[in-house]
């Protein structure tokens, strides 16, 4: 899922590329830009806005097992989700997984980006390829690898038991631990990318200046490097959190039916229970939560670190 | 430049091991000679790669994935080029809003898009068709194409176009002979990034694919949900080998970091 690495530049600044351009000259043909963007606008109006609005309307319909989808308008599905403990548990679990995955990605990805930057030329390119490469490999293949490692007769358990560290296999499949490990693996490249981008703006001479003024290496890291990369960590965290909260393939394979998260719940309502209105309501809630978190955190980060983003 | 200390190098090694472990395991298990999931301790075998040939649905899904990726990225690029030129070179009312709209599929979870497209296509009679897959993929990959083309058109020197125009070229000729060649690297890399995203997409596609028209990742996903055997490892390994080959070519031609970080020409 290279899918949302572009979130990043979206979050850094909405159109960084366009901002650095020389100011466009006065228009000779004021209609030209509208005509040029008209095809894509029409496409998006029909294929993005209409389906989303239809999903919103669908979420207001009701559903009966014998009657199917009823064309009535009511908030029953939302009330069900808000009042039912079953849904609370799933949404809470989704949130918990996303938070832990985000923290793990920050703790692992940020130091790795810093280490990568300090590597020498041929190694740096090679390691960067290894770190970013998985983004291009299908998420299904990557998760399959974890399923192979995790099983009760999987490689991790076999190895741990052979060494004698554990007597009985650890349960990774169908557990939150398993989902968290696999999701961290899938999403950590986004964090490295984001921190890497913010490190590019850091002048290595500043670190050398601090060292030459007698600062200890750890002090340099804490007082000079960290403040500069915090915006990168924060925007990386927004991406990772949003992707982890709406992740589907990895929780579906590792968590299975037994450990549902919001996305797999919506999938089951749609394709197994066939309660489309309820599935649509879950999707709409997921979409709203996503937008609130991305836009909200983004505003916060940009206001707090205005000087870094310039 | 400062060197990394021993602690940093140990961390780095463990990190790379963590990233590579699941990918390597898939590739190694695919070569097992046994009939069940196991490490190939008793010699390597290609039997599971041969077995892919006995399951034509994987080959068909692969072909459909390639076709879907190629068609939808071409359409996405065709829509992106004029839009990118408009955004990069004109100051107009609603420019920010239009840019945000074009990039918005990045903010919408794919599970939501899958549900929205399933509803929409069922209503208009495109459910389960290849055309439906193409249209939905165009929407989700357009932002990737747009961003790289936007970066290329912003950095372009416009005086060359003015020169062409002053020498009497029509605007279409100027576009075809001057503008397009200049932004071609951005267009090509935008196409490639769009293709990769279309090829890897599973969450949205699983909703709108039908048993007859499906993509390789979706076929693989549905198969894994039922059972995990060396056959899926072999299919996954083949996918991984192809991706690595494509990645090395891309890195040579364009630079993987530039493609993924998307910073345009620097």
Total residues found in chain A within this entry: 310
Q: With residue A297 as reference, give the H or E element that holds it.
A: helix A276-304
The Cα A63–Cα A77 span in angstroms is 9
Quote the longest CA-to-CA distance of chain B.
74
B214: helix, strand or coil: coil
The Cα B229–Cα B233 span in angstroms is 7
The Cα B195–Cα B243 span in angstroms is 12
Chain B interface mutation, best of A22, A130, A140, highest count of B Cβ atoms under 10 Å:
A140
pLDDT digits (tens, 9 = 90+) for A238-293: 999 999 999 999 999 999 888 999 999 999 999 888 899 999 999 999 999 999 98
Strand partners, A64: A68
- Decide if pLDDT at B48 tops 80: yes
pLDDT of residue B12: 95
Q: At what angle do helices B216-226 and A139-150 cross, to 10 degrees?
A: 20
Q: Which of A27, A119, A185 faces B90 most closely, judged by CB atoms?
A: A27
- Decide if pLDDT at A12 tops 60: no
Question: A178 or B186, which is more confident?
Answer: A178
Strand partners, A69: A63
Q: Which of B15, B96, B135 faces A14 most closely, judged by CB atoms?
A: B96
Distance of residue B212 Cα from the nearest chain A Cα, in angstroms: 17
pLDDT digits (tens, 9 = 90+) for A194-239: 999 888 888 888 888 888 898 888 888 888 888 889 989 999 999 9
DSSP string, B123-148: HHT-TT-HHHHHHHHHHHHHHHHHHH
Predicted ipTM of the assembly: 0.89
pLDDT of residue B124: 94
Q: Residue A142 — very low, low, confident or very high, per pLDDT cuts 50/70/90?
A: very high
pLDDT of residue A297: 87
pLDDT digits (tens, 9 = 90+) for B212-250: 889 999 999 999 988 888 999 999 999 999 999 988 888
Q: Which of B9, B139, B262 faces A6 most closely, judged by CB atoms?
A: B262
A177 closest CA partner among A100, A245, A234? A100
Nearest CA in chain B to A27: B90
Q: With residue A131 as reference, give the H or E element that holds it.
A: helix A121-132
Q: Which of B25, B138, B207 faces A155 most closely, judged by CB atoms?
A: B25
Any idea what DSSP says for residue B31? T
- Answer left, alpha or beta for residue B94, where phi above 0 means left and psi between -120 and 50 means alpha: left
Query: CB distance B197–A37 less than 8 Å?
Result: no
Q: At what angle do helices A226-245 and A176-200 cross, to 10 degrees?
A: 140
Q: How many CB atoms lie within 10 A of CB A172?
A: 23
Distance of residue A124 Cα from the nearest chain B Cα, in angstroms: 11
- Answer left, alpha or beta for residue A265, where phi above 0 means left and psi between -120 and 50 means alpha: alpha
Sort out which chain B residues have CB atoms less than 8 A from A147's CB and list them.
224, 228
Query: CB distance B4–A7 less than 8 Å?
Result: no
Query: CB distance A111–B11 less than 8 Å?
Result: yes
% of chain A beyond a pLDDT of 70: 89
pLDDT of residue A19: 45
Q: What is the mean pLDDT of residues B259-266?
A: 50
> Which positions 94-113 of A are in contact with B (Cβ < 8 Å)?
108, 111-112
Q: Residue A28 — very low, low, confident or very high, per pLDDT cuts 50/70/90?
A: low
Of A297-301, B35-39, B148-152, B205-209, where does mean pLDDT reach its minimum? B35-39
Q: What is the mean pLDDT of residues B169-182?
A: 90
Query: CB distance A140–B220 less than 8 Å?
Result: yes
pTM: 0.88
- Radius of gyration of the CA atoms of chain A, in A: 23
A160: helix, strand or coil: helix
Q: Which of A5, A14, A48 faces B105 most closely, judged by CB atoms?
A: A48
Query: CB distance B247–A133 less than 8 Å?
Result: yes
Q: Residue A69 — very low, low, confident or very high, per pLDDT cuts 50/70/90?
A: confident
Chain A interface mutation, best of B6, B18, B81, B260, highest count of A Cβ atoms under 10 Å:
B260
Question: A7 or B136, which is more confident?
Answer: B136
Residue B219, both tokens:
């076929």
pLDDT of residue A13: 40
Q: Are A210 and A223 in contact (CB under 8 A)?
A: yes
Quote the longest CA-to-CA distance of chain A.
78
- A260 near B CB under 8 A: no
Domain ranges of chain B: 6-242
Q: A63-67, B72-76, B173-177 — which one is most confidently predicted on average?
A: B72-76
Chain B interface mutation, best of A7, A26, A37, highest count of B Cβ atoms under 10 Å:
A37
Query: CB distance B138–A47 less than 8 Å?
Result: yes
The Cα A308–Cα B250 span in angstroms is 32
The Cα B202–Cα A306 span in angstroms is 37
Of A120-124, A127-131, A268-272, where does mean pLDDT reach its minimum? A120-124
Q: Are A109 and A188 in contact (CB under 8 A)?
A: yes
- A147 near B CB under 8 A: yes
CA atoms within 13 A on the CB side of B172: 0
The Cα B42–Cα B45 span in angstroms is 9
Q: What is the mean pLDDT of chain B?
A: 89
Query: CB distance B116–A54 less than 8 Å?
Result: yes
Strand partners, A70: A62
Chain A interface mutation, best of B108, B109, B158, B186, highest count of A Cβ atoms under 10 Å:
B109
Sort out which chain A residues have CB atoms less than 8 A from B147's CB and list them.
6, 9, 17
Total residues found in chain B within this entry: 266
Q: What is the mean pLDDT of residues B36-46?
A: 77
Q: What is the mean pLDDT of residues A13-39?
A: 64
Domains and CATH numbers, chain A: 78-309 (1.10.3720.10)
User: What value, to the nearest 5°, has the Cα angle with vertex A296 and ends A292 and A301?
Assistant: 150
Q: Are A240 and B193 in contact (CB under 8 A)?
A: no
Sort out which chain B residues have CB atoms less than 8 A from A150's CB and list them.
none
Distance of residue B210 Cα from the nearest chain A Cα, in angstroms: 12
B146 vs A232, A235, B86, B251, CA distance in Å?
A: 23, 21, 11, 20
Q: What is the mean pLDDT of residues A22-48?
A: 81
Distance of residue B171 Cα from the nearest chain A Cα, in angstroms: 12
- Decide if pLDDT at A21 tops 60: no
Nearest CA in chain A to B237: A141
- A148 near B CB under 8 A: yes
Residue A278, both tokens:
């309820």
Q: What is the mean pLDDT of residues B105-131?
A: 94
3-state secondary structure A213-270: CCCCHHHHHHHHHHHHHHHHHHHHHHHHHHHHHCCCHHHHHHHCCCCCCHHHHHHHHH
Query: CB distance A51–B200 less than 8 Å?
Result: no
A63: helix, strand or coil: strand
Q: Which CATH superfamily is domain B6-242 in?
A: MetI-like (1.10.3720.10)
């Amino acid at each position: 899922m290279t899918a949302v690495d572009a979130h990043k530049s979206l979050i850094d600044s909405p159109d960084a590329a366009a901002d650095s351009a020389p100011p466009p000259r006065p228009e000779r043909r004021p209609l030209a830009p509208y005509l040029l963007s008209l095809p894509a606008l029409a496409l998006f109006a029909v294929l993005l806005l209409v389906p989303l609005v239809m999903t919103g309307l669908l979420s207001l319909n009701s559903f009966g097992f014998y009657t199917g989808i009823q064309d009535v308008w009511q908030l029953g599905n939302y009330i069900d989700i808000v009042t039912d403990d079953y849904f609370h548990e799933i949404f809470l679990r989704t949130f918990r997984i996303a938070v832990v995955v985000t923290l793990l990605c920050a703790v692992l990805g940020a130091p790795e980006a810093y280490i990568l930057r300090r590597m020498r030329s041929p190694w740096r390119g090679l390691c960067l390829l290894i770190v970013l490469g998985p983004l291009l490999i299908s998420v299904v293949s990557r998760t399959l690898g974890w399923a192979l490692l995790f099983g009760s007769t999987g490689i991790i358990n076999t190895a741990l038991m052979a060494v004698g560290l554990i007597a009985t296999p650890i349960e990774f499949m169908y557990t939150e631990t398993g989902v968290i490990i696999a999701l961290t693996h899938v999403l950590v490249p986004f964090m490295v990318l984001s921190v890497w981008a913010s490190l590019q703006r850091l002048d290595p001479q500043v670190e050398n200046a601090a060292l030459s003024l007698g600062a200890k290496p750890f002090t340099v890291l804490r007082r000079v490097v960290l403040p500069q990369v915090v915006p990168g960590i924060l925007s990386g965290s927004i991406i990772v959190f949003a992707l982890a909260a709406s992740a589907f393939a990895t929780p579906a394979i590792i968590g299975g039916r037994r450990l549902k998260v919001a996305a797999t719940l919506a999938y089951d309502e749609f394709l197994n229970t066939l309660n489309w209105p309820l599935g649509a309501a879950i999707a709409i809630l997921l979409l709203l939560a996503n937008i609130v978190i991305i836009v909200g955190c983004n505003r916060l980060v940009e206001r707090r670190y205005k000087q870094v983003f310039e | 430049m400062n060197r990394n200390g021993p602690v940093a190098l140990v961390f780095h090694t463990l990190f790379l091991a963590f990233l590579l472990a699941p990918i390597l395991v898939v590739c190694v298990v695919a070569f097992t000679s046994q009939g069940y999931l196991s490490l190939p301790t008793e010699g390597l075998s290609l039997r599971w790669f041969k077995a892919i040939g006995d399951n034509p649905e994987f080959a068909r899904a692969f072909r459909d994935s390639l076709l879907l990726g190629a068609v939808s990225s071409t359409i996405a690029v065709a829509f992106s080029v004029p839009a990118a030129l408009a955004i990069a070179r004109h100051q107009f009312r609603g420019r920010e809003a239009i840019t945000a709209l074009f990039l918005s599929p990045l903010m919408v979870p794919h599970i939501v898009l899958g549900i929205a497209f399933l509803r929409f296509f069922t209503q208009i009679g495109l459910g389960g068709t290849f055309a439906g897959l193409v249209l939905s993929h165009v929407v989700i990959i357009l932002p990737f194409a747009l961003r790289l083309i936007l970066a290329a058109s912003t950095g372009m020197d416009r005086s060359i176009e003015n020169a062409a125009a002053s020498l009497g070229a029509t605007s279409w000729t100027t576009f075809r002979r001057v503008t397009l060649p200049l932004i071609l690297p951005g267009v090509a890399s935008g196409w490639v990034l769009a293709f990769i995203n279309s090829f890897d997409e599973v969450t949205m596609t699983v909703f709108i694919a039908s048993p007859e028209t499906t993509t390789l990742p979706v076929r693989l996903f549905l198969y894994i949900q039922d059972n995990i055997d060396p056959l899926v490892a072999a299919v996954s390994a083949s996918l991984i080998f192809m991706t690595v080959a494509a990645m090395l070519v891309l890195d040579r031609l364009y630079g993987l970091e530039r493609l993924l970080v998307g910073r345009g020409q620097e």
